[in-house]
């Protein structure tokens, strides 16, 4: 069993899900049973959320189009691009080719749509779909067992109910 100090040192990795499953589970179990650590984790979670939100807003402010306009001229054309430029020039200089490119593009798009639709249709439907928050809300729980515990994993917040005569 982890101590409160050990748990609190790992709040960041816990919230990011950047540690192995066993440690995550031990942390989740401790937090589920320790009101002080739970309160600290909630506070940490709010700070973490606010920080991530701030970063996202700042990143959104960057004008990517203007940034790219500055970067593009600085980039020298790679050597491998020369043969492609030659082929492209010859292709475009062929007579009667003006209608072929849009037709080919349309055919490629159609093929892509058909392929994607086909792949989607053949996806197995038996497995559950991943969703943003999978948190269960337990309204009542009556278990005839020596050990009963409820905990959630921190990423999708999927909930587990343990009920057995042996420890999880």
By CB under 8 A, name the binding residues for another protein: 17, 20-22, 24-26, 28, 126-131, 133-145, 147, 151-156, 158-164, 166, 168
CB 165 within 8 A of CB 143: no
**DSSP string for 73-99:** HHSPPPTTHHHHHHHHHHHHHSTT-TT
Q: How far is the CB of 166 from another protein (least distance, A)?
A: 8
Closer by beta carbon to another protein, 45 or else 163: 163
Q: How far is the CB of 163 from another protein (least distance, A)?
A: 5
Closer by beta carbon to another protein, 22 or else 94: 22
Closer by beta carbon to another protein, 107 or else 160: 160
CB environment 88-113: b (16+ within 10 A), e (fewer): eeeeeeeeeeeeeeeeeeeeeeeeee
CA distance 39 to 43: 6
Q: How far is the CB of 111 from another protein (least distance, A)?
A: 28
């Amino acid at each position: 069993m982890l101590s409160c100090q050990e748990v609190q040192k790992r709040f960041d990795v816990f919230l990011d899900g950047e540690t192995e499953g066993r440690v995550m589970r031990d942390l989740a179990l401790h937090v589920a049973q320790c009101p002080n650590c739970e309160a600290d984790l909630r506070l940490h979670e709010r700070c973490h959320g606010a920080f991530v939100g701030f970063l996202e807003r700042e990143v959104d402010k960057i004008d990517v189009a203007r940034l790219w306009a500055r970067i593009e001229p600085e980039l020298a054309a790679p050597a491998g691009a020369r043969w492609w430029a030659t082929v492209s020039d010859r292709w475009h200089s062929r007579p009667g080719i003006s209608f072929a490119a849009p037709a080919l593009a349309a055919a490629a798009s159609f093929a892509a749509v058909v392929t994607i639709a086909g792949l989607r249709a053949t996806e197995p439907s038996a497995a559950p779909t991943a969703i943003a928050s999978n948190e269960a809300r337990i309204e009542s729980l009556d278990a005839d067992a020596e050990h009963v515990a409820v905990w959630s994993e921190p990423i999708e917040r999927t909930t587990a109910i343990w009920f057995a005569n042996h420890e999880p």
